[in-house]
Amino acid sequence: MKLARLITDGALAAVAGYVATKVMEPVSMKLYTLEPAAARNKEDAVRPGPPPRVAAQKIAEVLGRGLSDEQLERASLGLHYGLALSWAPLYPLLRRRTRWSPLVAGLGTGAAMSVIADELMTPAFGFSAPNLDYPVVTHARGFVAHLVFGLVVAATFEIGWAIARRRP
């Protein structure tokens, strides 16, 4: 029984991570367009590029591989979705190991991703400019977008579990 639940959790988390990324992206872009022009200009001036693309380029360089633009784009998408799919299992872990509601576990998943991946790992590995180079509104947008990610992971996962429990 536990193995079946683990497999189901993993499959649902992967689907939830994908769906959540698809929802988070336009939300983040909409929030970006609502920011003051001065903040957008400052962010654009310091940002070395989309972090997954910068990461793909740096990884390729470390491996001594040159990538075409098409290969770089595919690697960038792989890293972007790979992070989402690898982060989403935090949600069922929180649901199974705590008494947190889906709402709280979803918000916790999104907040953890924002703080650990965006605010700590991305600048530490040089995939973005240092945090202090960005306007505060950039960090706020990222945090809100990742909360959306966590909430969509929660909703997708819970709907998936409800469907899975109904199957004979």
- The model's pLDDT over 18-47, given as tens digits with 9 standing for 90+, comes to 999 999 999 999 999 999 999 999 999 999
pLDDT above 70 for 1: no
The residue behind tokens 């960090």 is: 139
Give the pLDDT mean for 119-134: 97
Q: Quick one: which of 84, 95, 85, 83 has its CA closest to 154?
A: 95
Q: What per-residue confidence (pLDDT) applies to 105?
A: 98
Q: Can you give the pLDDT at residue 57?
A: 96
Which two structure tokens, joined as six digits, stand for 39?
A: 């903040």
How high does pLDDT run on average in the chain? Answer: 96
What sections of the chain are H helices per DSSP?
Answer: 2-34, 37-46, 51-62, 69-87, 90-97, 102-112, 122-124, 136-166
70-123 pLDDT per residue, tens: 999 999 999 999 999 999 999 999 999 999 999 999 999 999 999 999 999 999
